[in-house]
């Protein structure tokens, strides 16, 4: 694998860490800025909405730039955004800084995947793209628990300074290793937008929204759940996040195998298991080891959905691959924002932290129903992706 792939993976690691680490630091941020827990949760929603809205806009604005220049510019935005997070003296500025940081997210992954595939021969392109996205997976395994641990000891601002430092390293690696490439012919956005009239593509994007909402309703408030309900220490939260990251990685591998076999079955099974383990966690959250085991199984079920969702969207939107890839990232982050909002609403209306897993389960059931509609049998042939 070319060295440039490692630069892309390092960049993906930095971006994934800054998106998800806030979940482990939510109590510290809320206390520091004197806002409620649901109010701090809006920082997750703000980032996700920044990705959802910014991804297609940035894709259009950068369509004619050379890809090396574009990725470098996006990483500069990332560095500036995280530095602003670290310096934010109030809630409003921190929210603005999170949104600025989010602008680079969707476009970077969309363009980075194209660059990664172009670095290797055709028969190794899938492995190259997977190599880049390994950085995002490692962000959950290492970046989030380490960033949480660092923020709990030295303050949450220290975590964002470190992530900004990762961004500087990533920028240097991109400038050093990426080959200069001319752009391909810009995509015909008019033709691609016309392809969105495919009803099953829209259902597939809705499926991604509900998946992310089910995941982030629970994941956004995992730190206060563990601290206040399970009763573990700050250090225990970091270890649990590491364990969840390992489960997410394992689930991604299992989900890839299942999706290779049958996408429809993989998605329906995954949504079912997300709902089941979310409900189980409602009852096991008060005891350490049952809670840890349930969260590990929940993490496996959750990320086993990712490969099938990606294949499903591309299969139903193959007439508009560039736009569909970007819109799927937007759909994921709309679900992220929705999930954080739902979890915060559950707390705000007084149902308590233990009601959050039940809300997550309900959203997963919604995703399962969309699966049943999307993959219903047509006359004479089953619909599969």
What are the DSSP calls for 342-367, one per residue? HHHHHHHTT--GGGHHHHHHHHHHHH
* Residue 269 exposure: Cα atoms within 13 Å on the Cβ side: 17
Out of 36-50, 194-208, 235-249, 329-343, least confident range: 194-208
Q: What is the pTM of this model?
A: 0.78
Residue 276 predicted with pLDDT over 70: yes
d(CA 256, CA 254): 5
- Percent of the chain surpassing pLDDT 90: 48
Domains and CATH numbers, the chain: 1-185 (1.20.1250.20), 187-385 (1.20.1250.20)
pLDDT, one tens digit per residue, over 160-186 is 999 999 999 999 999 999 887 665 556
Cα dist from 10 to 14, 160, 372, whole Å: 6, 16, 38
Residue 100 predicted with pLDDT over 60: yes
User: What's the confidence (pLDDT) of residue 311?
Assistant: 74
d(CA 308, CA 240): 26
CA 114, 139, 130, 132: dihedral to nearest 10 degrees? Answer: 40
- The closest of 143, 148, 137, 149 to 246, measured between CA atoms, is 137
Cβ–Cβ < 8 Å for 347, 336:
no
Residue 36 predicted with pLDDT over 80: yes
User: What's the confidence (pLDDT) of residue 245?
Assistant: 87
User: What's the confidence (pLDDT) of residue 315?
Assistant: 75
């Amino acid at each position: 694998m070319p060295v440039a792939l490692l630069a892309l993976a390092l960049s993906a690691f930095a971006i994934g860490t800054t998106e998800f680490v806030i979940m482990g630091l939510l109590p510290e941020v809320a206390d520091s800025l004197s806002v409620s827990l649901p109010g701090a949760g809006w920082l997750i929603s703000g980032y996700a909405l920044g990705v959802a809205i910014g991804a297609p806009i940035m894709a259009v604005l950068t369509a004619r730039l050379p890809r090396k220049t574009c990725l470098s510019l996006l990483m500069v935005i990332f560095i500036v955004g995280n530095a602003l997070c670290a310096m934010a003296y109030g809630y409003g500025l921190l929210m603005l800084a999170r949104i600025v940081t989010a602008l680079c997210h969707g476009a970077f992954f969309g363009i980075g995947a194209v660059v990664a595939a172009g670095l290797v021969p055709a028969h190794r392109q899938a492995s190259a793209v997977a190599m880049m996205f390994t950085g995002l997976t490692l962000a959950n395994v290492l970046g989030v628990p380490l960033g949480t641990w660092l923020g709990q000891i030295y303050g949450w601002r220290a975590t964002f300074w470190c992530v900004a430092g990762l961004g500087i390293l990533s920028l240097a690696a991109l400038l050093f290793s990426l080959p200069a490439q001319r752009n391909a012919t810009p995509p015909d956005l008019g033709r691609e937008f016309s392809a969105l009239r495919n009803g099953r593509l829209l259902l597939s994007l809705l499926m991604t929204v509900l998946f992310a909402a089910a995941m982030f309703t629970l994941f956004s408030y995992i730190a206060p759940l563990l601290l206040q309900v399970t009763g573990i220490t700050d250090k225990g939260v970091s270890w649990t996040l590491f364990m969840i990251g390992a489960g997410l990685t394992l689930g991604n591998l299992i989900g890839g195998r299942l999706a290779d076999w049958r996408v429809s079955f993989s998605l329906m099974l995954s949504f079912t298991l997300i709902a089941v383990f979310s409900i189980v966690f409602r009852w096991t959250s008060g005891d350490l080891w049952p809670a840890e085991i349930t969260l590990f199984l929940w993490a496996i079920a959750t990320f086993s959905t990712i490969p099938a969702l990606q294949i499903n969207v591309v299969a139903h939107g193959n007439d508009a691959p560039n736009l569909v890839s970007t819109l799927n990232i937007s759909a994921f982050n709309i679900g992220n924002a929705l999930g954080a909002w739902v979890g915060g609403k559950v707390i705000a209306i007084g149902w308590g932290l233990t009601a959050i897993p039940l809300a997550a389960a309900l959203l997963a059931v919604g995703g399962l129903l969309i699966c049943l509609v999307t993959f219903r049998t047509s006359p004479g042939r089953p619909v599969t992706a």
